[in-house]
Copies of this chain bind each other. A is one copy, B any other.
Amino acid sequence: MNLENILKKEKIKVGDWIEVRKEKEIFKGILMPKTKLSHPSTLILKLENGYNIGIEVDEKTQIKLLRRREIGIKKEEIKLKKEEGKPTVSILGCGGTVASKVEYVTGAVYPAFTPTDLIQSFPRLEKIANIESEVLFNLFSEDLNVEHWKIIAKACVKNIKKNVDGIVLMHGTDTMHFTSAALSFMLQNLPIPIVLVGAQRSSDRGSSDNEMNLISAVLTAAKSEIAEVTVCMHGSINDDYCFVHQGTKVRKMHTSRRDAFKSINVLPYAKVWFIEEKIEYLRENFKKRDKQRKVKVDLKMNPRVGLIWIHPNINPKFIESLSKFYDGIVIAGTGLGHVPTNPFKDKLAKSIVPALKSLIDSGIPVVIAPQTIFGRINLNVYTSGRILKEIGVIGDYCDWLPEVALVKLMWVLGHTKNMKKIKEMMLTNIAGEISERSEVE
């Protein structure tokens, strides 16, 4: 009997709690929906530890229903009173693991996301702020692109006009730092905080970080002075504080740790102490909250920009071919900003300078960023850097992240095709993406 028939026979549906016995192992968990590509005999189970596993079902495998998924139980929507004197925070859902507690509690495959759902899952929210909420979309963050950034930016503007005191974006962590950079360029001169938040572990695992991250983000949005786009995530592997990172200076630096997000080349703006509900500022060079300030909205972006990592034996013809796919290129150079240039005319080395020059000559700007992640580009120390400068590579003295340089070039190319203007805009510090000097040495 095949998997489909076993499930039919046992009347087991997606979302049910089941027990699977295979050989000597017993697995308990929630039956997950099949993916388009999954094998017909593979069952996907969400274990109690929160991880999903695939189990190959054979003739001897036993499957038993433990508990029916609770669907159709209509929860009563609590009438939330808006308390005067309490700040109002809009929570906008953009997908990701952080929403999974709601999902888990309600049993929905897509998260329910009314203020009631949120407050039932995270009761402390109610004490901090009047909560409003809306789902913009529910996607893995690796699927987001320029079009989604525009949807988020427009929703932020709508909420700013509604006069809320802060905005929290629940977002997948994988590309959260791309989105925070994009919003930093699209929405300048903010009157209130816009705080992105996510979770590294789903809420049905003991070590989940989503409650602390969300509460801290709402605190930041409701009460902090930081009227900038920021990312609020665990600051350590303990449940003690979150960091509030500058949106253009943050990067996901670990696949799974709760404190995966790190500020790069700068200090975070603040620490948010979870228990104490205290915001401790680590630096002060941010725009202060001011509801009279008018946000400057500029959503124009050209999505045809590529990020290319330099490495030994990178093929010069591959570099040349980029003109077919992209209108601008960010290269993540080695060290202070280098690529194979072969100034000593070594017989075995191959320069990619002619290929880069051909891109630039055909009107495609080439921007450089450090693949070391930390530190600042300097094209003046070594010959190879000077060669790049001379052919017009943009980025000398910039300490931007490769990801942020990519997003900025998309935004700049949304505004001009003129190479001189592109260079001028790229080298202008627009959203704190270039530090005057690295604060953290």
Contact = CB atoms under 8 A, between A and B. Distances in A.
Interface of A: 35-39, 44, 51-54, 137-149, 172-175, 178, 237, 252-257, 260, 303-315, 317-318, 321-322, 324-326, 332-344, 346, 348-351, 370, 372-378, 380-384, 386-387, 390-391, 402-403, 406, 410, 441
24 contacts: A36-B343, A37-B387, A37-B391, A52-B380, A52-B381, A52-B386, A53-B380, A140-B383, A142-B310, A142-B334, A143-B351, A145-B348, A145-B350, A174-B334, A178-B312, A255-B336, A255-B337, A257-B374, A257-B441, A306-B311, A308-B309, A311-B406, A317-B324, A321-B321
The A interface is mostly helix, strand or loop, or mixed, namely: loop
A20 B139 CA distance: 60
A137 B174 contact: no
A138 B346 CA distance: 9
A373 B253 contact: yes
Contacts of A36: 343
A378 B201 CA distance: 13
Contacts of A321: 321, 324-325
A372 B142 CA distance: 13
Given A321-B325, A325-B315, A257 B139 contact: no
A420 B370 CA distance: 36
A318 B326 contact: yes
Nearest to A373: B253
Assembly stoichiometry (copies): 2
A174 B335 contact: yes
B53 A256 contact: no
A255 B54 CA distance: 42
Nearest to A386: B35
A375 to B, nearest CB: 3
A304 B34 CA distance: 37
A343 B35 contact: yes
A255 B143 contact: no
A47 to B, nearest CB: 10
B255 A410 contact: no
Contact of A346 (B139, B310, B322, B370): B139
Nearest to A95: B344
Contact of A35 (B143, B348, B387): B387
Given A37-B391, A52-B380, A53-B380, A349 B144 contact: yes
A380 B339 CA distance: 36
Given A174-B338, A321-B325, A306 B315 contact: yes
Contacts of A145: 312-313, 340, 348-350
Contacts of A381: 51-52
A309 B326 contact: no
A141 B79 CA distance: 66
Nearest to A370: B255
The 7 A-B residue pairs whose C-beta atoms are closest, nearest first, are A255-B375, A174-B335, A174-B334, A143-B349, A318-B325, A303-B313, A147-B348
Given A38-B390, A257-B441, A321-B324, A341 B309 contact: no
A54 B372 contact: no
Contacts of A37: 386-387, 390-391
Given A35-B387, A303-B313, A305-B313, A138 B344 contact: yes
A138 B175 CA distance: 40
